[in-house]
């Protein structure tokens, strides 16, 4: 995703919280805005996604929307012990935590190039009301040769799950392109001078000639 010959993890994406998270039955559901570096290549390929949570947690759902947050991108969870989780547990293990893998069928023409929106729901959320939980995220395109994370290159970022005291998050100063850009205002034609003013100028010009 970072160009030919690139290897290892690349920090080329940011995740912003959108609005306020919801908390029900010990679970948390949060909407995020994902800004991916415009320099990264965009190809219509399967995208491998991994998220790391505690061993006593589960990702109950993950939804991704493209095209300025309006078109849902198909996402399927891989089976336990799948390739994504296995590779990420090798390159980025953490005591008491596990990776969960997902596969997304990305189409650059259908889903757009940036301005992605995500909805994630995680079980057993136990962060302090004024605290937070970090969820590492890694993703890359599927490679026919395999070993995408253990030998190839991929993008990493962090998704923050806020405690229940957190206020609704305002839009970032430089938000991802999740809204349609307003067309540039065209210059208005110069207003025509009132008829009386034109007549006055003509009269003054005739007096000067005399």
pTM: 0.76
Higher pLDDT, 64 or 204: 64
Chain-centroid distance of CA 201 in Å reads 61
Please, are residues 142 and 84 in contact by the beta-carbon 8 Å criterion? Answer: no
Domain positions in the chain are: 8-175
Closest CA to 118 of 10, 21, 9, 2: 21
Instruction: Name the nearest CA neighbour of 9 among 98, 119, 139, 126.
Output: 139
Bridge partners, 31 (sequence order): 119
pLDDT (tens digit per residue) in 8-45: 888 878 888 888 999 999 999 999 988 877 666 667 67
Predicted confidence at residue 171, as pLDDT, reads 67
Predicted local confidence at residue 169, as pLDDT:
73
Does the structure show a pLDDT above 50 at 190?
no
User: How do beta strands 46-54 and 97-105 pair?
Assistant: antiparallel
Domain 8-175: give its CATH code: 2.60.40
């Amino acid at each position: 995703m970072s160009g030919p010959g690139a290897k290892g993890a690349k920090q080329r994406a940011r995740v912003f919280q959108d609005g306020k998270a919801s908390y029900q039955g010990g679970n948390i559901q949060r909407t995020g805005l994902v800004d991916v570096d415009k320099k990264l290549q965009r190809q219509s390929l399967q995208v491998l996604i991994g998220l790391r949570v505690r061993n006593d947690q589960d990702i109950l759902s993950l939804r991704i929307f493209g095209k300025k947050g309006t078109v849902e991108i198909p996402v399927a969870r891989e089976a336990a012990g799948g390739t994504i989780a296995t590779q990420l547990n090798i390159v980025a293990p953490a005591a008491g935590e596990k990776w969960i893998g997902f596969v997304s069928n990305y189409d650059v023409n259908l889903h757009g190039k940036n301005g992605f929106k995500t909805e994630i729901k995680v079980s057993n959320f136990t962060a302090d009301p004024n605290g937070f939980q970090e969820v590492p995220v890694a993703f890359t395109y599927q490679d026919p040769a395999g070993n995408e994370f253990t030998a190839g290159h991929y993008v990493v970022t962090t998704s923050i799950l806020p405690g229940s005291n957190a206020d609704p998050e305002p839009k970032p100063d430089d938000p991802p392109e999740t809204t349609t850009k307003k067309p540039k205002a065209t210059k208005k034609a110069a207003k025509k001078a009132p008829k009386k003013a034109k007549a006055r100028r003509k009269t003054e010009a005739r007096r000067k000639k005399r």
